[in-house]
Chains A and B, each alone.
Chain A
Amino acid sequence: MNTSIGALFNRTVVSLALVTSVILAPVQADDVKTLVFSAIPDQDESSLKARFGKVADYLSETLEIPVKYVPVKSYAASVTGFRNNQLQLAWFGGLSGVQARNLTPGSKAIAQGEEDPEFYTYFIAHHSTGLKPGEAFPKEIAGKRFTFGSKGSTSGRLMPEYHIRKNLGKSPEDSFSTVGFSGNHSRTVALVESGSYEVGAVNYKVWEKMVAEKKVDTDKVSLIWSTPGYPDYQWTIRGDVDATWGEGFSDKVQQALLDMKDPALLESFPRKRFIPASNEDFIAIEETAKAIGLLDE
């Protein structure tokens, strides 16, 4: 018994020493640094690797440097990765883009989808509420069970919360009997469809896609209100990329994105095409985030 304990102990110690050395061993750097990009995990996360892998191939061919796509699991993780220079380029939402650029001096928004300057959040309701679609904010939702999407989402959290505060004059916690965070847009639709939550806020593109694909029973849950348009998704690049890949690199990346014409690639986002963007396009988002306390003044 004793020997086996001793032997096992020795072997364990040796193994752990090995572990430490392998993990801490630095990895050989490539000759040309790889550009790493990611996208917020807001919809259709499945087979992201396959879909965004194609985008990486396109960028790699166009820019003539190695490009890699790395999936992330949360909005906060994409912002952190960008800030920590583990990602140099990212497809952010409105709010995550503002957060990332605030934390990463010199970074800039370079492109957005054609649809993004005018993005919408839909409020959807379970049929039992009897709520009907209308032009004006549906004040009758006060006191109901309400769910947002992800805590860091622009369309699933920031903008709907802003309009709730503006129209009901109270925080969501005080406006509703229960406030949930479903995690993402398709969970929001599923939970409102089941009646667990009576009202929810969802990215309009996700809703329209689910309706088109008949993934949702529109007798059970329906659209009752659309927010006014606001700027949302955009490509953001770090300011120090020119120093790594040469002068004018961020312009080259911008041009590559604007030139992306293959529908199969654009389908990943999903956008019709990309148009130029600048940091100033998102001031409204930043002001909104400050107004509801998601960003510090």
Chain B
Amino acid sequence: MALIKSPSVFRHSLRWNVSWLFVLSAVLCLFVADISIRSFDPWAELGRLVSGLLQPSMSGLDDIGLAVLQTLAFAMLGVALGSVCGLFLALVFHWRWIRMMCALLRAVHELFWALIFLQIFGLHPLTGLLALAIPYAATFAKIYAEILEEGDRSAFDVLSHQTGWVSAFFYARLPDLWQHFKTYTAYRMECGLRSSAVLGFVGLPTLGYSLSTAFMEGQYSQVWALLILFYLLIASLKYWLRPSLIPVYLCVAPFVISNDQTISFANVARFFTQDIVPSPLLKGESLVGLWQWFADLFMTQALPGIINTLVLSQIALVATGLLSLGLFPIISKQFFGRVGRGLGHVFLVVMRSTPEYILAFILLLLWGPSMLPAIVALVLHNASIIGHLVGRFSNDVRLRQDAPTGINRYTYELIPRVYGQFLAFLFYRWEVIIRETAILGILGVATLGFYIDSAIQEIRFDRAMVLILITAILNIVIDGLSRYIRNRIRLSQAINIR
């Protein structure tokens, strides 16, 4: 009795409070969000979609073998370049301006990087390579830095002071952390494949090129053939992505992506000295003109864009969390045998490898335009990624021999043990979800990314740059907030242990 009355027993953990705070904020966002279901005859188009699935066909598609190779090559090189640069950045990540710069670079979706580099380099392979490598380097920097921060320093601390910096790193830090680096980099390779494929949407010669063409034309047999090919590529990753083979791949890849395009330095110079300079400045107008231009852009595009982006991503974030908690058991050894987990993996691979754009279109046919298809598409995609990561993490959890099974095992044994890790994954995903709201313009949801895309399509790079900068600032704020919350939660865990 005395125990129950004691307030300390009933005090909720910070994790609990943070979780409910986020759920509450998402519920509040639901009130402002435009969510509705209005549709009449989705079945004709959905019928065509399903009949395409029943008879996938490659006929009519040009050079698919080459597109697969290009997808692989861009992904390999982009991720490799990103990870090497990311490692160097990670070593100096404690410098505030490096952290800010990385958050800024991460804030821009790969597709927008590609659209920017298309302006500068045209279809030169550098466009695709940099569009992948830049945001990936920034992400690698952040995660590698955290791995370094949390890793075991005992070997490093006992080194002689005369030990060179490079030797110290390679002999005393890297060996302990190697496994973490490897696991994370392999995971990013899968992301890299997805990104590489999606870059085809804006004209790179990867799988997404034919996929978006087929999709835009309603050639669903081809769409499914390409998607299945892509699922297989992702699912078989662990069989062909061997550390010993990577140097071979990296040597072949440049030859695969090289083409006969050349870089014009006049174009590069023009991009920086004219294209992205605000038009009032270029026309020699006064500062008042510039301010009006900016204020107009901010009030009519940036502000509504920020609001829509935040509302959409907040709901998607919380729903992603809930769904991934439901999904992770399907690939966990704690719950299913080989066959069950196999099916679980198939489901998760399909969900996370189908471009959100296609998911959103299918849902748009079903429900009509509102935020709902956007939310569900984002949630399905991201929850299957987090579900995959949490599921893998749960495999390493050791339970007692007599641990309960079924729902009791899930609620009393697994959830408490994976929850911290789950929250960490979710907070990492926060900024990704914000970035991904960009590509759902088909739904009539005007996020920041929607306006950036419009500015690029209107060939107004000055506006696109301002909007991209605003997106980046938003991302820096979110990144800081997520870092702060994660630190607080970790602090509370340390106290609990004591």
Name A's B-contacting residues (CB within 8 A). Answer: 1-2, 4-6, 8, 11-16, 18-19, 22-23, 25-27, 41, 44-50, 70-77, 79-81, 84-86, 99, 103, 126, 128, 145, 147, 150-152, 178-184, 186-187, 190-191, 193-197, 215, 217, 220, 294, 296
Alpha-carbon distance A186/B81, docked complex (angstroms): 39
Give 5 A-B contacts (CB < 8 Å), ordered by A residue.
Answer: A19-B253, A27-B262, A49-B62, A187-B216, A187-B361
Q: Are B175 and A1 in contact (CB under 8 A)?
A: yes
Of B170, B261, B453, which contacts A5 at CB under 8 A? Answer: B170
Whether the pair A19, B202 counts as a contact (CB closer than 8 A) is no
Q: Chain A contacts of B367 at CB under 8 A?
A: 196
Neighbouring B residues of A2 by C-beta, 8 Å: 170-171, 175
**Residues in B neighbouring A25, C-beta threshold 8 A:** 258
Please provide the 10 A-B residue pairs with the shortest distance between their CB atoms, ordered closest to farther: A195-B40, A73-B203, A15-B250, A11-B247, A180-B444, A22-B254, A151-B457, A178-B444, A45-B213, A19-B254
A177: min CB distance to chain B, Å: 9
CB-CB under 8 A for A186 and B216, given A5-B170, A76-B457: yes
Bound-state Cα–Cα, A12 to B192, Å: 17
Task: For the A-B complex with A5-B174, A46-B60, A81-B122 known, give 7 more contacts whose Cβ atoms are closer than 8 Å.
Answer: A2-B171, A14-B247, A16-B84, A76-B459, A152-B458, A191-B364, A296-B460
Number of A-B contacts (CB under 8 A): 187
**Complex alpha-carbon distance, A66 and B453, angstroms:** 35
Residues of A within 8 A of B243 (CB): 4, 8
Interface mask (B406-420 → A, CB under 8 Å = 1, otherwise 0): 000000000000000
- The digit string for B208-219, where 1 denotes a CB below 8 A from any CB of A, is 010011101111
**Shortest beta-carbon distance, A154 to chain B, in Å?**
13
**Alpha-carbon distance A217/B47, docked complex (angstroms):** 13
Q: Let me know if A47 and B62 touch, CB within 8 A.
A: yes
Chain B residues in 8 Å Cβ range of A181: 441-442, 444
Residues of B within 8 A of A26 (CB): 262
Q: Of residues 51 to 73 in B, which have CB atoms within 8 Å of A's CB atoms?
A: 60, 62
Q: Report the Cα distance A152→B122, complex, angstroms.
A: 19
Contact of A50 among B62, B178, B201, B246 (CB under 8 A): B62
B45 near A193: Cβ-Cβ < 8 Å: yes
Q: B170: which A residues are within 8 A, CB to CB? A: 2, 5-6
Instruction: Output the least CB separation between B210 and chain A (Å).
Output: 8
- Residues of chain B within 8 A (CB-CB) of A8 are 243, 246-247
How many residues of B are counted as interface, with CB atoms below 8 angstroms from the partner's CB atoms? 74
Q: Are B216 and A103 in contact (CB under 8 A)?
A: no
Majority DSSP secondary structure for residues of A touching B: mixed
Q: Which of B216, B264, B454 has the most CB of A within 10 A?
A: B216
- A47 to B257 Cα, complex, angstroms: 22
CB neighbours of A48 from chain B (8 A): 213
Segment of B123-131, B315-323, B483-491 in the binding face: B123-131
Task: Confirm or deny: B42 has a beta carbon within 8 angstroms of a beta carbon on chain A.
Answer: yes
Q: Is B122 within 8 A of A84, CB to CB? A: yes
Asked whether A193 and B209 contact (CB < 8 A) given A46-B217, A84-B267, the answer is no
List the B side residues contacting A5 at CB < 8 Å. 170, 174-175, 178
Residues of B within 8 A of A186 (CB): 216-218
What is the CB-to-nearest-CB distance from A41 to chain B, in angstroms, rounded to a whole number? 8
A265 CB to closest chain B CB (Å) equals 19
- Tell whether A126 pairs with B267 under 8 Å between CB atoms, given A5-B178, A151-B458: no
Give B239-264 as 1s and 0s: 1 = Cβ < 8 Å from A's Cβ atoms.
00001001100110111011011101
Cross-chain contact of B459 among A41, A103, A178 (Cβ < 8 A): A103
B456 within 8 A of A: yes
Contacts of B118 on A, CB cut-off 8 Å?
77, 80
Min CB gap B89→A, angstroms: 16
Q: Inside 8 A of B441's CB, which chain A residues have their CB?
A: 151, 180-181
Residue of A nearest to B255 (CB): A22
Q: Which of A19, A47, A86, A194 contacts B40 (CB 8 A)?
A: A194
Contact in complex: B218, A190 (CB < 8 Å): yes
Does A180 lie within 8 Å of B369, measured CB to CB?
yes
- Report how far A84 CA is from B330 CA in the complex, Å: 51
Task: Chain A residues near B255: list those with CB within 8 A.
Answer: 22
Q: How far is the CA of A4 from the CA of B80 in the complex (A)?
A: 17
Distance between Cα atoms of A8 and B81 in the complex (Å)? 14
B247 and A294: CB pair below 8 A?
A: no
Contacts A126-B40, A190-B218, A194-B44 known; A16 to B81 CB distance under 8 Å?
yes
User: Which residues on the A side are within 8 Å of B213 (C-beta)?
Assistant: 41, 45-46, 48
State the CA gap A108–B456 with chains docked (Å).
Answer: 23
List of B residues within 8 angstroms of A103 by Cβ: 459
- Are A15 and B251 within 8 A (Cβ)? yes
A195: nearest chain-B partner, CB-CB: B40
